Amino acid sequence: MLAYALILMIAAAQTDQTVEVRRGTRLEVHQFAGDVVVKVWNRDAVRVEAEHTDRQSVDIRPGDQSLVVRGRTQSGPSRSMDFTITVPAWMAVTIEGTAADVSLEGVGGDVTVETNRGDIRVRGGSGFISLKSVQGSIRLEQAKGRVDVQTVNDSIQIADVSGDVTAGTTNGSIVLERIDTSNLDAYTVNGTISFDGAIKDKGSYRVTTHNGEVSMALPEKVNATLRVRTYGGSFRSSFPVKLDDPDRRNRFTLTLGDGSARVELESFNGGIALRRPNEPRPLTGRERRDRDRQRQNGQPPPPAPPAPPSAAPAPAPNPNPNPGLQ
């Protein structure tokens, strides 16, 4: 979980440089360890602030295509360094770091983030959005374009996003809310997946888990062919469904409306559950454990509870003058 609130405040920021940039330049940040926070402003310039010790320095190198920001340690092993970078909203951002928590707020271009141990939080993004972690969790909100989110040992949350979406993890849950897509591929091995979004005609939606439940919100009016497959799990629905073959409850096809969208829901050991969009989604494994632990110990609630679903989808901010990336 990323703590937005506390920013390292030593007496004075040790690097604070602002560089003018030409439209179309991309920001590239290379970091060994430490947090990276990216915010936006109206200027065609990039401001780099960094907290570090005097054995470290920040390399800011403007080039033709990109502005490269790199944390350097003069001697000894690499040390962590926290960055706060303010960029123009149009700027594409690439961040690469081993143990960096990354937080982007209000960005409006391509976003590429790759980290090993960091959590990634992005609000914004337009174009190609690729977020990768290994041990960290990923949350993406209010983005549009081609979205690819991958982690290994933690969860993914995506909300208020439009465009093609691929979300994958191995040991974590995936929560997808208010998604507007015609192409979805969500998969995990150990974890639940919950999807709530538009099911568009002729769209393709694939949701797969091995140990965990798949929960999908289906509106009343929808044109979709649902292929439900579970090997050891069960199927349930909060509203009546008419199965062609009532004896086969673990592998069946269900046609709704004209059946134009293709929806594939697979859970090997877990179950498949259908609900209506206004019904709350089931808790993820972690949320359930936290709740149980809280009940047992009477302890204070776990930090960073998931954002509650809002009543109506919030429109995504769109600094890009050419909307309609799909």
Least CB distance to another protein at residue 219 (A): 25
Closest CA to 269 of 210, 215, 318, 228: 210
Within its chain, how far is the Cα of 216 from the centroid? Answer: 18
Q: Which is nearer to another protein, 84 or 112 (CB)?
A: 112
Nearer to another protein, 50 or 217 (CB): 50
Residue 170 Cβ vs another protein, minimum distance, rounded to whole Å: 4
To another protein, the closest distance from the beta carbon of 138 in angstroms equals 13
Q: How far apart are CA 195 and CA 204, in angstroms?
A: 13
- Are the C-beta atoms of residues 217 and 238 closer than 8 Å to each other? no
Query: At closest approach, how far in Å is the CB of 55 from another protein?
Result: 8
Shorter beta-carbon distance to another protein: residue 240 or 321? 321
Contact 184, 198 (CB under 8 A): no
Residue 216 CB, nearest approach to another protein (Å): 19
State which residue, 39 or 268, has the beta carbon closest to another protein: 268
Sign of CA dihedral 169, 172, 173, 176: negative
Whose Cβ is closer to another protein: residue 217's or residue 254's?
A: 254
CB of 320 to another protein, least distance (A): 7
The distance of closest approach from Cβ of residue 8 to another protein in the complex, given in angstroms and rounded to an integer, is: 6
Phi-psi region of 247 (alpha: psi -120 to 50; beta: other; left: phi over 0): alpha
Nearer to another protein by Cβ, of 8 and 283: the residue is 8
**Dist CA 228 CA 70 (whole Å):** 48
User: How wide is the angle at C-alpha 208 spanned by C-alphas 271 and 189, nearest 5°?
Assistant: 90
Q: Which residues contact 166 (CB under 8 A, 6 or more apart)?
A: 147, 148, 149, 150, 184, 185, 186
Residue 279 CA to residue 70 CA, distance in Å, equals: 46
88 vs 217 by CB, closer to another protein: 88
d(CA 169, CA 186): 9
